[in-house]
Amino acid sequence: AQSVSQHNHHVILSEAASLELGCNYSYGGTVNLFWYVQYPGQHLQLLLKYFSGDPLVKGIKGFEAEFIKSKFSFNLRKPSVQWSDTAEYFCAVNAGWGGATNKLIFGTGTLLAVQP
């Protein structure tokens, strides 16, 4: 069965610090990978996604993620965080495409708190 692991449950950073959130998945075939973000009081929003091609994908608000197939990883990065990045971040995987069912398997989430 597919699964997604997020190693950091809570992360506290100061503004301008660099961010890297880990995400590993278990599935040997073709995958689509996503990072979603949930700001306080708001709904889940897509941050970035990887389907194919360049393994380094750029998303909104200066976020990027790198797909490393050999490590089954899709870590999220940002060089310099801001207070407004305080949110919960979810990694998700969808295994295979072209089929009728495309459910997302989510990790447990990482709560990021950025201190001003």
Partner 1 sequence: EAGVAQSPRYKIIEKRQSVAFWCNPISGHATLYWYQQILGQGPKLLIQFQNNGVVDDSQLPKDRFSAERLKGVDSTLKIQPAKLEDSAVYLCASSTEAGTGLYEQYFGPGTRLTVT
Q: Which residues bind partner 1 (CB under 8 A)?
A: 4, 32, 36, 42-46, 49, 51, 90, 92, 97-104, 106-109
CB of 62 to partner 1, least distance (A): 20
In 3D space, the residue among 115, 80, 113, 88 whose CA is nearest the CA of residue 11 turns out to be: 113
User: Is the Cβ of residue 32 or residue 86 nearer to partner 1 in the bound state?
Assistant: 32
**Cβ closest to partner 1, residue 72 vs residue 106:** 106
Cβ neighbours for 92, distance < 8 A, ≥ 6 positions apart = 4, 33, 34, 35, 36, 104, 105, 106, 107
Shortest separation between residue 37's beta carbon and partner 1, angstroms = 11
Closest CB to partner 1 among 87 and 109? 109
Task: State in angstroms the smallest separation of the CB of 71 from partner 1.
Answer: 21
Please choose, from the candidates 28, 105, 96, 31, the residue with its C-alpha nearest in 3D space to the C-alpha of residue 65: 31
Q: Is 107 helix (H, G, I), strand (E, B) or coil?
A: coil
